[in-house]
């Protein structure tokens, strides 16, 4: 099997359109290397090939997680050759109405927040595996550390464990989870919700957002 080319749209850190023609890169027996800093999209190229062929990837259990953040659609396509015959395989996904700010986007944010709330009351040792596999690293496309203490990146679980023990031993400690979204402003959301209160017609998109936010607040109170 010979990979001829790949095409993609909004896959992980490769936001926008991506096209790579491997036939051109290997013309006349040439060699090439895939290089770049962490988060630049090297592994994403393999994800594109895997998802286009099999509808899944080795490192992501849910292929829906492949779509770049704040995107409305995504696709992967790979063209390959077997015994002189060319084939093409593809995978695609779209959010409702192709909008990155659809209810599905806010639903993802709320789901993550609910997970974080549960983590806030988990046993201390339950944090260790997640810390070692994810939290001690930086975010995928930036150099921002996932966990810090006094402004410094945490690289050892024991440092985090000390802070957790202090929090857990203090019954008055305050645990907070913040909802931060880039896909609509507070002012815009306030106006839309006021329209609903006044019984004015409103985009169904915001009606669903209202329901999701109400459900989230209820769960937090519980």
Whether residue 135 contacts residue 146, with contact meaning beta carbons closer than 8 Å, is answered with yes
Please tell me the distance from the alpha carbon of residue 61 to that of residue 65, in angstroms, as a whole number: 8
Continuous segment of H or E residues that includes residue 64: none
Domain 2-94: which CATH number of 3.40.50.2300, 3.40.50.300, 3.30.70.20, 3.40.630.30: 3.40.50.300
Which pLDDT tens digit goes with each residue over 155-194? 888 888 888 888 888 877 776 766 666 556 677 777 777 7
Task: Mark 45-61 as b/e (b = at least 16 C-beta within 10 Å).
Answer: bebbbbbbbeeebeeee
More confident residue, 207 or 3: 3
Task: Provide the pLDDT for residue 212.
Answer: 67
Task: Provide the pLDDT for residue 152.
Answer: 86
Please state, in angstroms and as integers, the Cα–Cα distance from residue 181 to each residue in 16, 50, 139, following that order: 21, 30, 17
Task: Provide the pLDDT for residue 5.
Answer: 93
A 10 A CB-CB count for 106 gives: 21
Please tell me the distance from the alpha carbon of residue 31 to that of residue 33, in angstroms, as a whole number: 7
Which pLDDT tens digit goes with each residue over 19-69? 999 988 888 888 888 888 888 888 889 889 988 888 888 777 666 678 887
- Over range 104-129, report the average pLDDT: 72
Task: Provide the pLDDT for residue 79.
Answer: 93
Whether residue 44 contacts residue 11, with contact meaning beta carbons closer than 8 Å, is answered with yes
% helix / strand / coil in the chain, to the nearest 5?
A: 45, 20, 35
Continuous segment of H or E residues that includes residue 198: none
**Among residues 33, 24, 18, which one has the least CA distance to residue 4?**
24
Please report, for the chain, the start and end positions of each structural domain, with discontinuous segments joined by +: 2-94, 101-117+176-222, 122-174
Residue 58, helix vs strand vs coil: coil
| Lowest-confidence region among 7-11, 169-173, 200-204 | 200-204
Residue 167 has which token pair?
Answer: 């929090």
A 10 A CB-CB count for 164 gives: 15
Q: How confident is the model at residue 78 (pLDDT cuts 50, 70, 90)?
A: very high
């Amino acid at each position: 099997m010979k990979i001829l080319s790949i095409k993609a749209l909004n896959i992980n850190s490769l936001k926008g359109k991506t096209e790579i023609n491997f036939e051109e890169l290997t013309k006349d027996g040439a060699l090439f290397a895939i290089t770049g800093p962490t988060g630049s999209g090297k592994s994403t190229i393999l994800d594109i090939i895997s998802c286009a062929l099999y509808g899944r990837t080795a490192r992501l259990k849910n292929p829906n997680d492949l779509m770049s953040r704040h995107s409305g659609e995504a696709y992967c396509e790979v063209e390959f050759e077997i015994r002189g015959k060319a084939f093409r395989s593809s995978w695609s996904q779209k959010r409702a109405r192709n909008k990155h700010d659809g209810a599905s986007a806010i639903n993802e944010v709320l789901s993550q927040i609910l997970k974080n709330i549960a983590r806030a009351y988990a046993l201390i040792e339950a944090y260790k595996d997640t810390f070692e596999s994810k939290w001690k690293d930086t975010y995928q496309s930036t150099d921002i550390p996932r966990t810090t203490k006094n402004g410094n990146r945490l690289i050892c679980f024991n440092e985090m464990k000390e802070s957790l023990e202090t929090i857990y031993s203090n019954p008055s400690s305050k645990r907070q989870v913040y909802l931060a979204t880039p896909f609509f402003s507070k002012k815009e959301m306030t106006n839309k919700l006021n329209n609903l209160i006044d019984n004015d017609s409103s985009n169904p998109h915001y009606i669903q957002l209202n329901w999701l936010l109400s459900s989230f607040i209820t769960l937090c109170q519980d």
